[in-house]
Structure 1
Amino acid sequence: MIPARYAHLLFSLILSGIMSLLVSGVATFRAAGMAEDFLALWGSSWISSWILAYPSVLIVAPIARRVTNLLVRQPAAQ
């Protein structure tokens, strides 16, 4: 098991992996259609996308969290 202090890194890795898989799949399909080598093209696109997506999520997530906190009404103190 991974220590809890690394949870944000693991979350970012999983999130960026899934999101880059989906987005690269759609982009590859739109560019190449259902070509014979579609899975190879998709895999190649996914890996290169993930390499960029992971550090991007690490940088952007704290900013998105702060903006979300500004836009969400906080519960009243009891």
Structure 2
Amino acid sequence: MSKPVFKKLPAPCMAYVMPLLLSIIMSCIVSLISTLKSTGFADFELRLWCGAWFLSWVVAYPVLLLILPLVRKLSSFIVESPTGH
């Protein structure tokens, strides 16, 4: 077996890493769609999209950190827990 490329973060970091990755991916997709809708394919500029993406991510990450506990609680009303309680 080969050695891992880097040392993994401890398990409690998952509460910050998962929203970080989710916010990066979602803000990327949403800002791309928004930029393309406002500029069109012909006038699309990577610089504009990157600016929109960064601004979207700066908002998205803290919002995800703030609302994730609420979303978990709301989800528990809709989805049965693994233990069945």
Q: Normalising by the residue count of structure 2, what TM-score does the alignment of the two structures yield?
A: 0.81
Q: 1:27 aligns with which of 29, 34, 37?
A: 34
Question: Per-residue deviation at 1:16?
Answer: 0.4
Paired residues for 1:8-47 under 5 Å: 8-34=15-41, 35=43, 38-47=45-54
Deviating beyond 2 angstroms after TM superposition, the runs of 4 or more aligned structure 1 residues are: 73-77
Pairs aligned (count): 76
Matched to 1:67, the amino acid is: L
Deviations 1:30-63 (CA, angstroms, capped at 9, x unpaired): 0011215x21111110001000000000011111
Name the structure where helix makes up a greater proportion of residues.
1
Give, in whole Å, the separation in 1 of the partners of 2:84 and 2:28: 40
**TM-score, scaled to structure 1:** 0.87
Unaligned runs of 5+ in 1: none
RMSD over aligned Cα atoms = 1.5
Structure 2's unaligned 5+ residue stretches are: 1-7
Percent same amino acid among aligned pairs? Answer: 33
